[in-house]
Structure formats: C-alpha cells, structure tokens
Amino acid sequence: MKQFDHLMLFFLLHTSCSTLLTLAQAPAAAPVVAPKAALVLAPASSPAPPGPTNVTKILEKAGQFSTFIRLMKATQVANQLLGQLNNTNNGITIFAPSDSAFSSLKSGTLNSLSDEQKVELIQFHIIPTYLSSAQFQTISNPLRTQAGDSADGKFPLNVTSSGDTVNITSGLTNTSVSGTVYTDGQLAVYQIDRVLQPLQIFDPRPPAPAPAPAKSKKKKDDDVADSPADDSTDNSKAVRFTMGNNVGLFGVTAIVIALISL
C-alpha cells in the first residue's frame, strides 16, 4: 500500500513538472493592443505669394548704398518705383552709386541742389526698361532715363560695352558697372562707383543771345525823305534873298535914270 502511494506521488510530480516545462517553453502570448485611431492629414498649405518688389530693401540688404537710399526716400522716387514694378510689366534698370561714389562729390554738391534737381538726379540713374548685362552690347544710345529728354544738353546717357566691361557716360561723368546687385528678369540693379551728373543740372547751357534789333526801314525812309525837304527850304530862302537884292538894285537904277533925264 505504501508502495502504491509512492508511485502515485511520483506520477503526480512527474505530470506537474512536465506541465510546467511545457508552459515554460511555449511562446508568450502577444499583448492585446487597442487599435489606433486613423490619422487625418490636413491638406498641404500653398506657398505664400511673393511680396512686392522693394528696391530700397534690396539695396539695404546689399549694403553700401545708404546715401542713394536716403535720396530715393526723400524724393519719393522709391514709392514711384514700388508702384511701377508691381503694376506694370515694363521693367526697371537702376545704376546705383555706392556711398563712396557720393563721398567723391565736391563738398556741398547735394545741398546746393533744389528739390526738383534732386528728383532729376535720382531719376537720371533709372532706365524705364529692364536691361540684362547681355543687352548692353546691342542697345541704342543715348538711353532715355526717367529724368526726361535725352537730347544733347539735357539728360543724355550713353552706355557701351567692351568684353565684360560696361562703360557709362553722361557728358560730365565717365564710369563703369562694377557689379550686379540684383536681377530677376524685371528689375536689374547694377553698382557704379561714380555719381552720374547730367548736363541739365551740373552744366546747363546759357540761352542763346537774342539777335540785335534791325534798324527800322521806315526810319531810313523818313531820313531820306527829310533830306530834300531841308534842301528845298534852304534854297527857297536863297531865292527870296536874291530876288530881294535884285528888286533893290532895280529901284536904285530907276532913280538914277530919272535924275539924268532932268
């Protein structure tokens, strides 16, 4: 009986160990994960439209154009360009003098200019069309600037190129393009190292002298007409004098003859 109990205990222990071994070798069950909520993607936002082209901001970013910027703002030319660039398709080309270019001017030059002349000076540096560097080789001179008429003696501006060198002359100033500041197909800004001085402002030609008044023909005719009249007056006096003398002589002769007859 005791032997049977030992056998049953051995069987139970063997069964329990087998069960535990089987459970230990079995892979662990994957944890239950709650399903994730579906992600809803918002539509991609379109890029913001580019802001209006601002010449002064372009020059400020480039640096060394503070005097030119100040004059553009003071003369309201900056606002005019902002309107032109964002409301028309004509394009603009600017020859921007550096600060050192203005420093090389004679002391007091800018202060001696009137408000109107300052506007013309800034506008003389602006071409109302877009010019790429390649177009400098084919343009026709003189160029018309925003200052007005390009005729000789007013606002002539001539641009010529030789290889990579672009030369500019105003009749008083000779300089060249020293670099490209900005270009986008509508606006081109080129740096120059001298201020372009137009003839109309810095060397105005005096007006032609008025022709001397011609001597009146009527006066000449009157002078000619007066001469015979004077001569006739003098002659009449001589005739009267001669006749008076003759009458006196005739009277004396008659008296003498009468005395002799007695």
Indicate if the pLDDT at residue 233 is higher than 50: no
Write out pLDDT tens, residues 166-185: 999 998 999 999 999 999 98
Indicate if the pLDDT at residue 141 is higher than 80: yes
Q: Which helix (H) or strand (E) holds 97?
A: strand 92-97
Indicate if the pLDDT at residue 235 is higher than 80: no
Tell me what the mean pLDDT of segment 187-193 comes to. Answer: 96
Average pLDDT of the residues of the chain: 75
With cut-offs at 50, 70 and 90, classify the pLDDT of residue 90: confident
Higher pLDDT, 200 or 253: 200
Rounded to two decimals, the pTM is: 0.61
Prior bond of 142 cis (ω within 30°): yes
pLDDT value, residue 261:
54
Q: What backbone phi and psi angles, to 5 degrees, belong to 64?
A: 55, 30
CA dihedral 138, 141, 144, 145 (to 10 degrees): 80
Structural domains in the chain, sorted by start? 55-202 (2.30.180.10)
Indicate if the pLDDT at residue 76 is higher than 60: yes
Tell me what the mean pLDDT of segment 103-131 comes to. Answer: 95
Tell me what the mean pLDDT of segment 183-207 comes to. Answer: 88
pLDDT value, residue 245:
52
Q: Round to whole Å and give the CA distance between 94 and 197.
A: 15
Indicate if the pLDDT at residue 48 is higher than 50: no
* Signed CA dihedral, 9, 12, 18, 22: sign only: negative
Tell me what the mean pLDDT of segment 106-135 comes to. Answer: 94
